[in-house]
Structure 1
Amino acid sequence: MPKWTEDQNKAIFHHGHDILVSAAAGSGKTTILIERIIEMLKNGENIDNFLVATFTEAAALEMKERLVNRIKELVASGELDDEDKQHLQSQIFKVSVANISTLHAFCLSVIKKFYYVIDLDPSFRLLSDETEKTMMQQRAFDNVRNKYYKKNDADFLDLTENFSNDKTDDGLADTVYKLYDFAITNEDTNGWLNSLTNSYQVGDSLTDSDFYQKSFKPQVVKSLRNLIDEMNSIAERAKDDPLSQNYAPVMNSAVVQILNMIDLLESEKTFDEIREQVLSFKYGRAKPVSKETKELSDDDSILKLVKKQKDDVKTEFEKDIVNSFFIQNEADTLDTIHNAEKIMAKLVEVELAFIKEFNNIKTSEHVLDFNDLEHKAVSILTSEVEGQKIALDFYQNRFHEIMIDEYQDVNAMQENIIQLISNKNNHMFMVGDIKQSIYGFRQAAPYIFTGKYQEFQKEDNPNELIQLSKNFRSSVPVDNFVNTIFKSIFDEQIGDVKYDKSVQLVAGTSFPDDVDADTEMYLLNDDQSTDEMDDSVIENKRISKIRFVAKKIKELKQQNFKVFDGKKGKYRELKYSDIAILARNKNSNTDLISYFAKAEIPVMVTDAQNYFQTTELQIMMSMLEIVDNPRQDIPLVAVLRSPIVGLNEEELAEIRLANKSDDYFTAMRDYITLDSEDIRPKLKYKLAAFFVRLERYRDFANKNSLVKLIWKIYQETGILEYVAGMPGGKQRTANLHALYQRANNYEQNNFKGLHSFIAFIQQMQKMDRDLSQPNSVEATDDTVKVMTIHASKGLEFPVVILLNIDGLFNNMDYVSETLFDSKLGVGINVLDTTTRANVRTIQRAIISDQKKISAVSEEMRLLYVALTRAKQKLILIGHSKDSEKTLSAWDHARREDDGVINAGSRLAARTYQNLIGMSTLSSDERRRVPDSNELVNENCQLHFQFIESDDLKDSVSKKVDSTISEEPSTKIFKDTVNNILGFTYQHQEAVETTAYQSVSEIKGLFADPDDNEMARSEIISDKGRYVLDQFKTPKFLQKTTKVSATDVGSATHLVLQKISLDKSPDAEDFEQLIKNLEDSKVIDPAVGKKINVSSLVQFYQSDLGKLILENKDHVSREYPFSILMPAKKLFKSDNVDNSNDDKILVHGIIDGVIELDTSIIVFDYKTDNVKNGKLKDAIEKYSGQLNLYSEAISSIIKDKKVSGKYLYFLQINQAEKLD
């Protein structure tokens, strides 16, 4: 018999009362469930006398399999006498039909057995396809909406207007669908819906209403106390800093004002009196610190932080208090609430009509969905036949114990079912972990678990709480890291549990002392990032993190990382399948699949959504859209640019020039009919052929089914074969086949027509119900597993990489226009029909505050699940825009007396990396490794680094940046293919190389960040020659930012050119010059503020600067030149014929030239920020450019040689002389 811990022993052998087992991650709860069943079987119980409810079908199958294996093991052990052995052997055959299943499956068995109790047709089928269900719901709502429109119901029109816009009433439909999802998990759906108007019934006095006293006042007081907490934190931070100390009284004064508001709220004051006090809130002015104090301290980092946090709290006060609760006076607030009550009443009426219509459609189709299973089962259990509840009596007598796994994730309806079938004769055994309750979006009700968790601890409660805290999965470093974080962020208010010693992880397994198990955390740092990041910046950030993950996996493999196999007690080589990449969502999946294919890292993505974002699906959906209606510019151009037609950007632009005013389809048709020498015959032929094919498809679509059309397009375009040759071709082919199958399913459900199918897909995407990609990789393959944190629950991996820890939490639950809560009801906005503005109700504000706490709590629990999947090692990947600000923010998160970070800081964290950083990397916790940029926290074995974005370039083998192709099967075939694909026109360089090169073009070869043209360096060919690009990027497509490094660099160069050299310029000289340039509209003021004046002053105090001042009459700044240079000197490449005499005219401007009596000095200043240890790389990067300048000036001033070439890095005030 295994040696059980004391608490495990209790969980296996205690009986006679209800038991709640709080089982931490890795504590072996499934094993405990199985052993408890085994012990009862050994005592003569039968397996079919238990109800064992699991959260998933997979968990149920696993439990059955393990139970059979355990019984067989016990029978073979020789421990049992013949009678017990015979009894256990008989149980093996009963396991397959035992009630070990999900609650949905149990409900289905209830319905199949007792359907006649409620006169239900037993020939129903289960509606398990979410797509089919969505289509039925759409049909139901369309029917309801049309009935109201036919009646010309004025209240319905007002309702529609309130939730929709001028173009469509989809807003109301979305609200109805979401409300349905909340209502249907309530045990009394209709009763809950009819109660939704209660909170809006406030009468003529807001302060006298139950809503004000029980909901409004407690919530506002709570929010104000959170603000006080934040203000006290800022005051405490400020008082100990010389430069910030005068802000402490300001914050203390603000706290007094907030306390006065709380006093008024708790008194009998009117709403308007309280509002007057709220609107009068303002900060006092901080007294300036003395000159002596300023001189004593040159570190203003805390001052900046205090100022920012002070402003943030003021913004929070205005947003969360003023705008949420006191934006209107009492009269206007009451008017808004009364209007909201009317709207809510109509919404409830429409919702009930929708539910009835939806049920009618399901009845006519003979289907039940998963929600129906629960409701029908309850109806059967509570219905009487001849005065008896025969179904309920049957199950109460049959089940001797009810066991519920993952109890923290049951919803209210499921709890109702469990309570119905339990009684004093069949006690409940509930296993779960509130720290792993992560299914709020499915209306899981963790309060059910926490309620019993608290009740069962009371001395007078006959039931029992058992804590299982030993983690038999993870290494000590993983446990320590997890405990360090969650004892800092979990409490009863946020997270729903106090993370004390009773719930902290305790190591239950042993790893060797030399095991590589320390946690690694990396933030990709990009100081050039801005708060206003466009889609391309976000995409680049995402790809950079994926690139780093690929690099890390390659390193683990190449460095022979060892995995400790606990069962065998020895190390083994790391396999790809030992690694799991987890993320909060699936946003990176498409890019990850593509990049890993190029990096030759095998990967299996579980439930990889973004299905319609894949290249092949976008091409096919665009094709279907233009078959339906060709006069759609975006899908038409997408198809023309795709391999189906294969046009390039230049050809697309030429087509548009044929007709600039009409749609693109007309322009294409006009191009085909043009008869001009400027028309390209080949392009005209391509378009004509495509036009004929498109018309043929349109005609075919009118006469044939959707699936036949799709298959015809597949066959005639060869798109299946094309995508098969792309990276990840197997997956892409599977995606296209899945589209065909889904179209078939669509038509099987009585939906017809191409247009309707396209509209349906667009609606699915709009509702964020993207379909999952079919998996083309076997689960047994040696592949890196990629999945969401939700999908990883219950799994474990030796190495876990948590990606995108910088991703913002999902805030839709508390910022959407309409908010839903199973307890608080529905919070809505009211449309002011006069101003057309949406007015927020205070009911919505209260729900928003509560939902924010719930959402952040669930995000924390999601982080707990992710971190506890690791058996041996954790690697965390995120992103930072400013390393210093990131660390500073983590440093100043205030903790309460019990060590938990204050609520305000936790609610404002917004990302996993901030929660982790505040918990483990504050200045008190971290230390810097000597001669390194690595930070460590020895207490939780964490190693942390900022990784500069530049360090990621070429971090993976060159194969990653080029498409991986399949190897030909024979040498003859390989040689043939290579001869065809490798053909190169002998004089191609002459065709592509321009005869004129500006310095800005040449600078691109040396990647000079000070140059405005750097962004166009990608048009240099792989032969090293700068080639003509056909069309410049239009200005409206060019990337713009508020203030870029390029803007600042250009402005700095201008200032250095214009500054007088009559004396060594000081800060005042530079500031005056900058002001003059701003006044003259030469420099934008926003750019001027970014110029580092201090570095410019120090430049002229350096040896190089002094040399310039000493020779001011012989100094030329911004020295222009034009010279002819041999092309072979500019472009060093094996692909270029260096024997030819091609010349290129190079034109440019040198930052500075000093012409001495016998020699010349060339200098160039750089404004880019050179990081620690990166100076050598920067010098190497710019040396080629400076050598070019030197050669140019030597050819112009032929009687003097260049005696000095200097690079001056302004940001670090350092000059480097080149050889």
Structure 2
Amino acid sequence: DVKQSIYKFRLARPEIFMEKYETYGKDGGERKRIDLHKNFRSRREVLDSVNFIFSRIMGRRLGGVEYDREAALYPGALYPDHDGGEECPVNDTEFLLVQKEAPETENGEGAENTAREQEETEKESPEDWGQTRRKGLSGRQREAYAAAKRIKELVGHFPVTDKATGKLRKASYKDIVILLRTNAGWDEDFKSILKEEGIPSHVLSKTGYFAAKEIRTILQLLRVLDNPGQDIPLFGVLKSCFGGFSDEEIAWIRGAEKERKKSLYDCLKDFGKENLPAVQENSPEKAGLRDKVKAFLHFLEEYRDKTVYMPIHELLQDIVTQTGYLNYVSALPGGGQRRANVQMLLEKAVDFEQTSYYGLFHFIRYMEQLEKYDVDYGEANILDENADVVRIMSIHKSKGLEFPICFVCGLGKKFNMQDINGKMIADVDMGIGVDYVDVERRLQGRTIRKNIIAEKMRLDNLGEELRILYVALTRAKEKLILTGLIDKPEKKLAMLIPAAMRPKDSQLLYGELAGAGSYLDFLLPALAVHPAFLSLMEAYGLEVPGQKTAAGMPGETERFEEAGRKTETEPENWNGKDARLEIKIIGDEYFMGTEVREQIMAEGLRKRLECSSPLTDADSELMTNMSNIFTWPYKHSNLAELYTKTTVSELKKAGQTEEQDFSFRLYEEENVIPYIPKFMKGEESLGGAGRGTAFHKVMELMDFREEAEPVEEQIKRMIQDGMLSTEYAQVLSVPSIQAFLSTNLARRMAAAGKKGCLYREQPFVLGLPAKELNEKFPDGELVLIQGIIDVYFEEEGEIVVADYKTDRVDDGKELVQKYQKQLEYYARALQQLTGKRVKERVIYSFRLHEEITL
């Protein structure tokens, strides 16, 4: 489908496909073309709308493809019929034109109304402030609100076809996508508006982390802890959940100071003093404010003290835990995403501490540099493919995907034509165009060649935009909704009257298409001949000579209803002449009505909560259901502690009591590691675990034969061959190894080695019944145990297993108590592995120079 070639910026060439399309014919021969006409994705209503639009705007001269009977889309997918009768929602395509906010009038009425609204807003309670935010919104935010309102109406009501069962079900958020021409500057506005409206959404982008409110708030707190003299971050913290101050309270604190040059932090400290006249002279509320200030200052001082000795990740963890910040952000709209963002900040703090920098000051500068140079992590990804959220993505990102309900938004955005405005432009066909520069006269201007190349590139870009629009509209499976921003709709509709007077099956003039600056410039003239558009003009008092609306045309309404009942597009209807469309202009009245409805619902809910009794039947039933949910017993609770895989070491610990476990301390204190500069540090030696690993490595490689080299020479050779590190060699005790070589165990191992029956560092995995490990575990469950046996050898057809220990003990009984269980599992694994009986289990202590037979 050449109409879906949308990667010209990656040097895609639709002309190549068109050459093939024209070279290969449909009538036999060696070069036969087979056209695939049917679309197996979308409902007929969607395809009719697409055919109606593109049969009027797409042609060979602009778009590269003639949208004719051969290029049109014909329905091939089978969808269940709606069985809800006349009241059942239909799949008509919707076109929502969002009107820009009305400007002030010339006589100043707008200014007076604005002042009056502002005065009323100041009298409103804080609960009402969120509703007034719709006033003064940007154009794209108004468009986002319109989309959010429509999404609320669709979710839970509009029927869509379930992919698994093929039957109708109610739409959910995951069935909806919002497509944008570009994410830059648009996706975050849409996401924030949807979040305010309680609609979960996800943006497929790698930006927005530092712009997230929960991240900005905690970074502001860190800046204040580092330097409280910064007024702007401190004001943000005071307004946040950490401070809880209102604008009025902060104004009282600032106004109590006569000296205007004082910082906000100094004003806070002065306001918190007991003898401050400004507090004593005022109402008791101001005295309560003083206590609030004192508590906040105590909070700041407490954490400023902690910044001296706490690592950054521990400081952040302490803040979010002690203040309940994680719970707070989780309770906000989109709480799961916000919580994941905060946890991601904790992870970044851990990563920061792996660098050579240290301390709060450097961490703040580190985050500021990331934000300055656009090294944005993107918000934490908490979604899987089945997450019930509205997806927001670019049209290019959506190519190849499909969604039951598709919003195509931002249709009023101007096309990006920056490529043709540079001092040097380049086209793959016409070459390079540059400006003319007269150095002597100091003049510069565009050359004819550059103008021709620029015009060719502009037309190519318009053709690309047409194909991009085609891709966007064909993503919808069952419902297509278009939205765009329009300014002065009366004037815009009046300009469309000449286009509405044309025949319904006529294409737009090439000059109209070539002069388009946005998708609306394509869509509005194309839809001007549709009866739904004529009804819209009539509503605005405009009359189209020679045309009648659907309501005024005899039999027109019946013809459209009959068209909606058809199951397949007829060949004569390839241009979608019976397409069902609904076109609306959404103005200030719509947003005001939405506010009023939401305020009424909020007030009704508040009164219902205030007047409700805990003893009513409804509340009792609700409490019973909630109680059952929270006390629901997990039927497999006996498996809660069951593990499917473990190690011999863990089982060894589990078999010990707390007194036997030498790693147990009743009041164990953390080791205090003093801060020592690197240039003063000496070489660090390996601990007990490292020493044990070194001995095990040498014993794995050691030659036990009598004619073998001395121990020192063998260790040197191991180091030279790269099999033993210098660090390990430094913690070895050569006399201890020499003492082992003189033992009876070493002689027996040497004898077995000559026969090829000596095995060292043998890994194993043993399956044991869970009931055998713990009486609480159920029958029939299997637990895998993995481990590595130090050494075992065959002797007279039976197995001897040995284990090396470097523990600092004074008596062999301690080793027996600690490792007897471990040797039992070794013996059991060897019996299953070799089929031979283990006749002897031996522990050798390098500390005691002693063999201990179990």
Is 1:911–2:531 an aligned residue pair? no
Is 1:503–2:77 an aligned residue pair? no
> How far off is 1:699 after superposition?
6.6
| Paired position in structure 1 for 2:661 | none
Aligned AA for 1:622? Answer: Q
Is 1:616–2:616 an aligned residue pair? no
> How far off is 1:678 after superposition?
0.5
| Paired position in structure 1 for 2:343 | 737
Choose the corresponding residue for 2:261, options 661, 678, 686: 661
Choose the corresponding residue for 1:642, options 240, 247, 269: 240
Is 1:561–2:158 an aligned residue pair? yes
Cα distance change on mapping 1:671 and 1:565 into 2, 3 Å: closer
| Paired position in structure 2 for 1:726 | 332
| Paired position in structure 2 for 1:523 | 97
Cα distance change on mapping 1:670 and 1:552 into 2, 3 Å: same
The within-5 A match list for 1:561-600 is 561-564=158-161, 571-586=168-183, 587=185
Distance in 2 of aligned mates of 1:567 and 1:628: 56
| Paired position in structure 2 for 1:444 | 10
> How far off is 1:874 after superposition?
1.0
The within-5 A match list for 1:484-499 is 484-491=52-59, 494-499=62-67
Cα distance change on mapping 1:903 and 1:732 into 2, 3 Å: farther
Larger radius of gyration: 2
| Maintained 8 Å contact 1:890/1:914 | no
Distance in 1 of aligned mates of 2:603 and 2:308: 42
Distance in 1 of aligned mates of 2:604 and 2:393: 25
Aligned AA for 1:444? Answer: R
C-alpha RMSD of the superposition = 5.4
Aligned AA for 2:16? Answer: G
> How far off is 1:723 after superposition?
1.3
> How far off is 1:615 after superposition?
2.0
| Maintained 8 Å contact 2:99/2:486 | yes
| Paired position in structure 1 for 2:789 | none
Is 1:877–2:483 an aligned residue pair? yes
Aligned AA for 1:676? Answer: L
Is 1:678–2:271 an aligned residue pair? no
Choose the corresponding residue for 2:4, options 417, 435, 447: 435
Aligned AA for 1:729? Answer: G
Choose the corresponding residue for 2:249, options 621, 627, 651: 651
Cα distance change on mapping 1:800 and 1:691 into 2, 3 Å: same
| Maintained 8 Å contact 1:520/1:944 | yes
Secondary structure at 2:210 match in 1: helix
Aligned AA for 1:614? Answer: A
Secondary structure at 2:277 match in 1: coil
Distance in 1 of aligned mates of 2:417 and 2:355: 35
| Paired position in structure 2 for 1:794 | 400
Cα distance change on mapping 1:446 and 1:767 into 2, 3 Å: farther
The within-5 A match list for 1:557-956 is 560-564=157-161, 571-586=168-183, 587=185, 601=199, 603=201, 605-607=203-205, 609-657=207-255, 658=257, 659-661=259-261, 664-665=264-265, 667-668=267-268, 671=271, 675-679=275-279, 680-687=286-293, 690-691=296-297, 693-694=299-300, 706-745=312-351, 770-810=376-416, 852-853=458-459, 856-891=462-497, 901=508, 905-906=512-513, 908-922=515-529, 926-928=533-535, 939-955=578-594
Cα distance change on mapping 1:961 and 1:802 into 2, 3 Å: farther
> How far off is 1:644 after superposition?
1.0
> How far off is 1:625 after superposition?
3.7
Deviation per residue, 1:666-715 (Å, 9 max, x gap): 55556557953113455455545545655665676576654344334323
Aligned AA for 1:548? Answer: A
Distance in 2 of aligned mates of 1:770 and 1:781: 24
Secondary structure at 1:451 match in 2: helix
Name stretches of at least 5 consecutive residues in structure 2 with no aligned partner.
Answer: 83-88, 115-132, 280-285, 542-548, 551-575, 620-854
Distance in 1 of aligned mates of 2:443 and 2:349: 39
Cα distance change on mapping 1:760 and 1:526 into 2, 3 Å: same
Cα distance change on mapping 1:450 and 1:748 into 2, 3 Å: farther
| Maintained 8 Å contact 2:95/2:483 | yes
Distance in 2 of aligned mates of 1:764 and 1:655: 34
Name stretches of at least 5 consecutive residues in structure 1 with no aligned partner.
Answer: 1-22, 24-432, 976-1219
Distance in 2 of aligned mates of 1:531 and 1:904: 35
Secondary structure at 1:877 match in 2: strand
| Paired position in structure 1 for 2:744 | none
| Maintained 8 Å contact 2:504/2:529 | no
| Maintained 8 Å contact 1:890/1:922 | no
> How far off is 1:523 after superposition?
1.7
| Maintained 8 Å contact 1:524/1:949 | no
> How far off is 1:573 after superposition?
3.9
Deviation per residue, 1:412-450 (Å, 9 max, x gap): xxxxxxxxxxxxxxxxxxxxx552425x6xx52222x53
| Paired position in structure 2 for 1:473 | 41
Distance in 1 of aligned mates of 2:93 and 2:455: 34
| Maintained 8 Å contact 2:80/2:168 | no
| Maintained 8 Å contact 1:803/1:877 | yes
Cα distance change on mapping 1:724 and 1:782 into 2, 3 Å: closer
Deviation per residue, 1:742-801 (Å, 9 max, x gap): 444556577777666656655665676654323445532454444443443322222222
Aligned AA for 2:98? Answer: L
The worse-fitting range, judged by mean Cα deviation, of 636-645 and 870-879 is 870-879
Deviation per residue, 1:1016-1037 (Å, 9 max, x gap): xxxxxxxxxxxxxxxxxxxxxx
Secondary structure at 2:260 match in 1: coil
Cα distance change on mapping 1:918 and 1:714 into 2, 3 Å: same
Cα distance change on mapping 1:481 and 1:530 into 2, 3 Å: farther
Secondary structure at 1:866 match in 2: helix
Identity level (%) = 30
Aligned AA for 2:587? Answer: E
Aligned AA for 1:721? Answer: N
Cα distance change on mapping 1:930 and 1:644 into 2, 3 Å: closer
Distance in 1 of aligned mates of 2:306 and 2:173: 47
Distance in 2 of aligned mates of 1:629 and 1:664: 12
Aligned AA for 1:879? Answer: L
Number of aligned residue pairs: 532
Secondary structure at 1:944 match in 2: strand
Distance in 2 of aligned mates of 1:761 and 1:489: 49
| Paired position in structure 2 for 1:1136 | none
Aligned AA for 1:619? Answer: T
Aligned AA for 1:740? Answer: L
Cα distance change on mapping 1:501 and 1:593 into 2, 3 Å: same
Cα distance change on mapping 1:896 and 1:772 into 2, 3 Å: farther
| Maintained 8 Å contact 1:576/1:783 | yes
> How far off is 1:916 after superposition?
1.6
Secondary structure at 1:720 match in 2: helix
Aligned AA for 1:881? Answer: D
| Maintained 8 Å contact 1:735/1:774 | yes
| Paired position in structure 2 for 1:483 | 51
Cα distance change on mapping 1:521 and 1:649 into 2, 3 Å: same
Distance in 1 of aligned mates of 2:520 and 2:412: 6
Secondary structure at 1:484 match in 2: helix
Secondary structure at 2:407 match in 1: strand
Question: Which protein has greater RCO, CA pairs closer than 8 Å, 6+ apart?
Answer: 2
Distance in 1 of aligned mates of 2:460 and 2:373: 22
Is 1:549–2:147 an aligned residue pair? yes
Distance in 1 of aligned mates of 2:518 and 2:105: 15
Cα distance change on mapping 1:577 and 1:875 into 2, 3 Å: same
Secondary structure at 1:953 match in 2: helix
Aligned AA for 2:215? Answer: L
